[in-house]
């Protein structure tokens, strides 16, 4: 008898890492709900997919606990359970912290932290009740290391890593796995949305992490699915990111000084301080 196809939800599934996860899951035979605030983009993505699995689009605002709860309930009603919950939706802000407005702070907290909490709150009890499942939270290298001019984003991604690792210790005895995804710069539209004066987000994210080329989102998605199968706690990609992370743990003072110098270079290139831009 063949294995039952897994059911999955991917938030922020219409583009970037989320879209790559949807593609990988469908190719792996899963039934996927591609949840995104941009319904038209989600529909375009799923219309172009083919594979042993299936996907459908739904408009879901992760800042609404009720919309996330309803998405989980819909998948459970359709498939009898929810096997995989990918809390992937996120935004970034690039710029000096003193220029952030409270509205910007609220926006990034609502999406990057509360959006993940809403996914966990809706999916985790269901997975306990059904006797298993896996939660995958998209964080960032910014959740493992500090990066100036990206302070609000770093704060939220540290929260996601902390939530994931703490929940993992609780969830293990309930048959539920938890993984945090912590990539360096990934080749998604977010790289080109944030900017600090003339300094493009792509320039900041690549040079700041010592990476010449961003991570291919489809390569990352494949590694995430392998990590889920192996029940790994963290996915840190690429290899340069793992090296930087280990260096930061062994020589935090050196990494802090290097980061400080990098921030000053970015400010100088931008001609001084600039208001944060969203991405």
Q: Which of 86, 124, 153, 245 is catalytic?
A: 153
Dig out the tokens for 261 from the structure. 């110098």
Unique residue bearing structure tokens 């010449």: 212
Spatial distance between the Cα atoms of 181 and 184, rounded to a whole number of angstroms: 10
First-last CA distance in the chain: 46
What phi, psi does 192 have (nearest 5°)?
A: -105, 5
The closest of 150, 189, 247 to 14, measured between CA atoms, is 189
Unique residue bearing structure tokens 């208001």: 275
What phi, psi does 94 have (nearest 5°)?
A: -120, 120
What does DSSP say about strands 234-237 and 176-183: parallel, antiparallel, or unpaired? parallel
204 is annotated as an active-site residue: no
- Residues tagged active-site: 153
């Amino acid at each position: 008898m063949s294995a039952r196809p897994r059911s999955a939800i991917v938030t922020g599934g219409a583009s970037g890492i989320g879209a790559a996860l949807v593609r990988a899951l469908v190719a792996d035979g899963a039934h996927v709900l591609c949840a995104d605030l941009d319904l038209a983009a989600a529909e375009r993505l799923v219309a172009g997919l083919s594979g042993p699995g299936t996907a459908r689009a739904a408009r879901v605002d992760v800042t609404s606990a009720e919309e996330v709860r309803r998405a989980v309930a819909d998948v459970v009603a359709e498939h009898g359970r929810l096997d995989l919950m990918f809390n992937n939706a996120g935004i970034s802000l690039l710029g000096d912290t003193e220029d952030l407005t409270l509205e910007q702070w609220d926006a990034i907290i609502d999406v990057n932290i509360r959006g993940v909490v809403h996914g966990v709150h809706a999916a985790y009890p269901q997975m306990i009740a059904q006797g298993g499942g896996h939660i995958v939270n998209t964080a960032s290298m910014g959740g493992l290391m500090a990066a100036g001019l990206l302070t609000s984003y770093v704060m939220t991604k540290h929260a996601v890593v902390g939530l994931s690792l703490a929940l993992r210790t609780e969830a293990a005895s309930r048959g539920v796995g938890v993984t945090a995804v912590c990539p360096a710069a990934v080749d998604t539209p977010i790289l080109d949305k944030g900017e600090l004066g003339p300094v493009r987000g792509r320039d900041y994210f690549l040079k700041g992490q010592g990476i010449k080329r961003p991570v291919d989102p489809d390569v990352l998605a494949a590694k995430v699915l392998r990590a889920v199968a192996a029940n790994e706690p963290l996915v840190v990609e690429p290899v340069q990111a793992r090296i930087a992370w280990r260096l930061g743990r062994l020589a935090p003072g050196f990494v802090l000084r290097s980061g400080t110098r990098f921030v000053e270079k970015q400010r100088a290139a931008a001609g001084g301080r600039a208001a944060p831009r969203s991405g």
